[in-house]
Amino acid sequence: MSDPLSRTRIPFAITLLFCVLPLLATAQEERQINILALDADNPTKLLVRHHDLNQGTSLQRVEVPTGEVLRGEFVENRNQEKARIRRLTRGRFPVEATVNQVEPRGRYTILGAPDAQGKNYQILAMRDGRIGVLADIPLRREEGTDNYAKGMLKEVVWAPNGKTIIVVVNQQIELPDGPVNSDAIHFVRFRQWRVRWMTPATPGEQGGETTTTP
């Protein structure tokens, strides 16, 4: 298939789950997302590679923060994919999405870890040995149980303006209908004064959080 996808608006808060077409009935969910490039004139627009186990591979142009998929094109093979990426990055998306956990100025490093309850995956900022929370991403849960997905931080891309961090987080969980191994892209507004810095833990206690700015 090579027809472009129809223009679609996806409800968006902080997380954008890419769905090219209605999912086929299946006992296994697998979705992989990679951030490829950004629009030089408008850093709120991205070019991403989306691979769905049931639907195949597509290149999608996504707008931040509305979550609107401006255009999507299926690719049938690796050669076709490379050719279309070259065409898109030469023109509309010339800024390569450099995956790097370290802020361009080198002051902050972005990390990821589950919270103490294992119900959320936290996007963390580290500076001078201190760690603070930037965002909490809910982890998928098996209905009626305390079985939560395992999260993993896969990609970190800093927008050119330095005010937004674009991260890809993978979630894996075993459900009665089958395993889930799914990526999602999250847009985190980076403001130094909004970092929830953790207080050091005393012996026998867990550390807390504070809003003290660095």
pLDDT digits 0-9 by tens, 52-82: 988 899 999 988 777 678 888 999 999 999 9
pLDDT at 68: 79
- Select the more confidently predicted residue: 98 or 136: 136
User: Which two structure tokens, joined as six digits, stand for 149?
Assistant: 């997905």
Q: What is residue 82's predicted lDDT score, i.e. its pLDDT? A: 92
- Regarding predicted confidence, which is higher, 163 or 148? 148
7: helix, strand or coil: coil
Bridge partners (DSSP) of residue 157 are: 99, 166
- pLDDT at site 209: 58
Contact 192/148 with Cβ under 8 angstroms? Answer: no
The predicted model scores a pTM of 0.78
Q: Is residue 158 within 8 Å of residue 100, measured between CB atoms?
A: yes
200 falls in which pLDDT band (50, 70, 90)? low
- Supply the Cα-derived Rg of the chain in whole angstroms: 18
